[in-house]
């Protein structure tokens, strides 16, 4: 068998295709790369997304009045001063983009304008916070990304 340009081009294409296929198979079977959805019930939550948009619109006036302060004992969330804290009911959802096992929800139970999320629940790094609450018959939502 004689090696010519045609044979070399075919061998180069076959080698390139084998190289690409190797990396496709490696990437799809690699266990450390989690290919999970953000949430288990993605489609169900997608249908309720309009409610989230409405709650964000309702909370537009309050969004800039929240403060998030890192303290020694945890994360202190201060609610807007114009709101009566006794009438606030809801939950705070903390989402950790790097590890879904660290996500948790925290009920809003206020004795003053501050809500403290304990330090033992929070690891250093990025957290996405959603504050869902009901105030005077309106559903409200504030989203914030913080680095703890």
What gap in Å lies between CA 143 and CA 133, rounded to an integer?
Answer: 12
Report yes or no: 110 and 86 within 8 Å, Cβ to Cβ.
Answer: yes
pTM: 0.66
Q: What is the pLDDT of residues 29-87, one digit of tens each?
A: 876 665 555 667 777 777 788 888 888 888 888 878 888 888 888 888 888 888 887 88
pLDDT at 21: 96
Q: Where are the domains of the chain?
A: 1-35, 42-147
Asked if residue 9 has pLDDT above 90, the reply is yes
Positive or negative, the CA dihedral 103, 108, 114, 120 is: negative
Selected from 1.20.1560.10, 3.40.50.620, 2.60.40.10, 3.40.50.970, the CATH number assigned to the domain covering 42-147 reads 2.60.40.10
Q: What is the DSSP letter of 46?
A: H
Least trusted range by pLDDT, from 10-24, 34-48, 90-104, 123-137: 34-48
What gap in Å lies between CA 56 and CA 53, rounded to an integer?
Answer: 5
Contacts 24+ apart (CB under 8 A), 64-69: 66/131, 66/142, 66/144, 68/129, 68/144, 68/146
Q: What is the pLDDT of residues 72-103, one digit of tens each?
A: 888 888 888 888 878 888 899 988 887 778 88
Report yes or no: 89 and 131 within 8 Å, Cβ to Cβ.
Answer: no
């Amino acid at each position: 068998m004689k090696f010519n340009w045609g044979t070399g081009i075919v061998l180069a294409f076959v080698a390139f295709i084998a190289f690409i296929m190797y990396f496709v198979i490696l990437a799809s079977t690699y266990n450390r790369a989690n290919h999970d959805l953000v949430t288990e019930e993605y489609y169900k939550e997608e249908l309720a997304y309009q409610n989230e948009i409405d709650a964000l619109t309702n909370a537009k006036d309050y969004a800039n009045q929240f403060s998030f302060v890192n303290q020694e004992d945890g994360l202190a969330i201060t609610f807007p001063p114009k709101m009566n804290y006794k009438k606030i009911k809801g939950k705070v959802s903390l989402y950790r983009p790097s590890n879904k096992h660290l996500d948790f929800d925290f009920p809003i139970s206020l004795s003053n304008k501050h809500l403290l999320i304990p330090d033992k629940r929070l690891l250093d790094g990025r957290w996405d916070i959603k504050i869902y609450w009901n105030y005077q018959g309106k559903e409200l939502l504030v989203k914030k990304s913080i680095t703890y």
